[in-house]
Amino acid sequence: MADNTAVNGQITDAVTQTNVKVVAEAPAQALASLYQFASHSAGLSLQNAVHSQQALNQISSAVISKAVTMILAVGDKS
């Protein structure tokens, strides 16, 4: 069942060079993907921090407003 057909050397060279190119570029592509993922995660965490700070600022404005209203109401009762 062994096939003894000869393969053109140019074909084997082309396939070998393509395989070497793909294997050689794999680590660089993996690191590029990792850097993209890390920068995206950092960006999302900064967006979350900004959103939390804005929400706390809104709450503090409401608390200050209510406290001022309560302080002013004390003078009206007496």
Which tokens is 29 given? 């592509």
List, for residues 18-52, the tens digit of each pLDDT value.
Answer: 888 888 888 999 999 999 999 999 999 999 999 99
Share of the chain above pLDDT 70, in %: 91
Annotate 27-48 with b (16+ C-beta within 10 A) or e (fewer): eeeeeeeeeeeeeeeeeeeeee
pTM above the 0.75 mark?
no
Strand boundaries in the chain, DSSP class E: none
